[in-house]
Amino acid sequence: MSEEKFDAIVVGGGLAGLTAAYCLAQAEMEVLLIERGDFCGSKNVTGGRIYTHSMEKLMPGFAKEAPLERKITKERIALMTETGALNIEYASGKDDDDSTASYSVLRSKFDKWFAEKAEEAGVMMVPGIRVDECLIEDGKVVGINAGGEEMYADVVILADGVNSLLSQQLGLKKELEPHQVAVGCKEVIQLDEEVINQRFNVKNGEGTAVLVAGDPTLGNIGGGFLYTNKDSISIGIVATCSDIGRVDVSIPDMLERFKNHPSVEPLITGGVPLEYSAHLVPEGGFNMIPEKLYADGVLICGDAAAFVVNLGYAVRGMDFAVESGRLAAEAVIKAKEAGDFSARTLSLYQQLVEDSFIYTDMKQYRNFPKLLERHEIFNDVPEIADMIMDKLFRVDGRKPVSLPMFAVDEIAKRTTAQKLLDLVMVALDAL
Ligand SMILES: Cc1cc2nc3c(=O)[nH]c(=O)nc-3n(C[C@H](O)[C@H](O)[C@H](O)COP(=O)(O)OP(=O)(O)OC[C@H]3O[C@@H](n4cnc5c(N)ncnc54)[C@H](O)[C@@H]3O)c2cc1C
């Protein structure tokens, strides 16, 4: 193998890498995909809910065949205190097609299926090997070194995820800063399909996405999530690394606390733990995207390029990963036609990304990370909501209090008019 030269080597068998490799193989290029996990998906973590528009563009009708869990038909956002929870649930009632739908997904199944598709298309898969470095000759990336074995290609696509050490080695990316990443900690709990239907008031094949702020992270920046799968529930915490140590509870313990919350425990009771995982999530948004997504003989896509937005009520990375993998392949196909894999030719990728929904959407929400840095959202807001709801619904024979006055009083106890105005301005700027 060391003598062989490929058209392209893709590092990482997540959604970005699989998409890039799949598209290149479809264009009859010789592609090698190297994945450090035992199989594609074995190391990949998501919440997770996949917005299907970019997969649908890639493989029309894929949802009929792919191992997706449930079509998300209900959205629930919650503000939680130690004992209380204000839940807002929304169901559009519209029957979305797969260009607008989203599904709960388990990456260990989905990526495995996708890898089989890529292999059928002609990708040579090498799982179980970690790429240690890119090989450079005359300033150009010419291949990779994996465990001492050197492999060569016209172009290397780095789809090695959020902590892309390879793009750091090439100087395309800086080391991650604690405020730019969160730790996600997740458990998959098996439950009967019918039990899930009853607990979430959904039909077979339909599901609920729940995103929670407040008590799950004890007021730290982050939140809790819960997604209904076919016969399991994905439940987890995402907590920003810069906040670690702010409270004396570890992230795994936050997950236990979330699972035991009075409004959550009845949803998962009787379930059997199937899977436990932890992973980093890019949280910096648009401002975290590397200045250059290419260099001579190399491109970066997916989480490696920080293509993720976390809006609190929705997390998106998978649709960006798929689209960026597709665009990387498009640029490589053009480079192959031109017989030139220099940075100048590969810069087409940057242009394609900048013209795509990846940039438009991430740019739109570029100030969201600033909003989510405000601790008030994760402690004061849930507490005030809890106090108001409790006052609204409690009947105890005492003299009633004016609710607006009570609300103003509760807000004034926690913040000043200036701070409140400031928060509103940051929120308006983020939206
Ligand atoms: C807790 C959590 C919740 C999330 N929730 C959602 C959600 O609900 N919806 C959503 O759209 N997104 C969500 N995301 C984000 C989403 O999961 C990612 O954006 C997406 O998985 C990125 O895909 P990727 O292919 O770029 O990277 P990954 O899926 O991380 O794939 C990278 C691959 O590269 C491999 N690799 C790394 N280094 C090497 C190496 N040196 N050699 C060989 N292989 C290597 C890894 O093993 C891995 O398979 C969530 C993320 C987390 C962690």
- 88: region left, alpha or beta (phi > 0 left; psi from -120 to 50 alpha): beta
Note whether residue 130 is domain-resident: yes
Asked if the bond preceding 48 is cis, omega within 30° of 0, the reply is yes
DSSP annotation of 175 reads: P
Kindly state whether residues 122 and 52 are assigned to the same domain.
yes
DSSP annotation of 66 reads: S
For residue 153, the surrounding DSSP H or E stretch is strand 149-158
Which region among 304-318, 351-365, 406-420 has the lowest average model confidence (pLDDT)? 406-420
Residue whose Cα lies nearest atom 17 of ligand 1: it is: 46
Kindly state whether residues 224 and 246 are assigned to the same domain.
yes
Number of domains in the chain: 3
Per-chain mean pLDDT for the chain: 94
61-87 average pLDDT score: 96
Rounded CA separation 254/185 (Å): 9
- What local confidence, expressed as pLDDT, does residue 414 receive? 82
Nearest atom within ligand 1 for CA of residue 318: 11
379-405 average pLDDT score: 89
127-141 average pLDDT score: 97
Q: What three-state secondary structure class fits 5?
A: strand
- What local confidence, expressed as pLDDT, does residue 3 receive? 58
* pLDDT surpassing 60 at residue 250: yes
Residues near 365 by beta carbon (within 8 Å), at least 6 away in sequence: 285, 286, 309, 311, 430
DSSP annotation of 173 reads: S
**Residue 246, domain extent:** 179-282
Q: How sure is the predictor about 374, in pLDDT bands with cuts at 50, 70 and 90?
A: confident
Are 17 and 36 in contact by the 8 Å Cβ rule? The answer is no
Kindly state whether residues 151 and 187 are assigned to the same domain.
no
Residues near 316 by beta carbon (within 8 Å), at least 6 away in sequence: 51, 308, 309, 361
Domain end: 300, 322, 355, which one?
A: 355
49 lines ligand 1 (CB under 6 A): yes
Kindly state whether residues 191 and 140 are assigned to the same domain.
no
222 lines ligand 1 (CB under 6 A): no
Q: What percent of the chain has pLDDT over 70?
A: 99
Kindly state whether residues 213 and 268 are assigned to the same domain.
yes
* pLDDT surpassing 60 at residue 76: yes
- What local confidence, expressed as pLDDT, does residue 223 receive? 94
Kindly state whether residues 116 and 166 are assigned to the same domain.
yes
pLDDT, tens digit (0-9, with 9 covering 90-100), for 141-189: 999 999 999 999 999 999 999 999 999 999 999 999 999 999 999 999 9
Query: At residue 304, what are phi and psi to the nearest 5 degrees?
Result: -60, -30
Kindly state whether residues 243 and 219 are assigned to the same domain.
yes
How close is the Cα of 303 to the center of ligand 1, in Å?
6
Rounded CA separation 343/353 (Å): 15
Pocket test for ligand 1, best of 180, 258, 315, 322 (most atoms within 8 A of CB): 315
325 lines ligand 1 (CB under 6 A): no
Kindly state whether residues 244 and 387 are assigned to the same domain.
no
Q: How far is CA 190 from CA 99, 202, 267, 270, 315, in A?
A: 29, 17, 12, 9, 23
Q: What CATH number is associated with residue 332?
A: 3.50.50.60
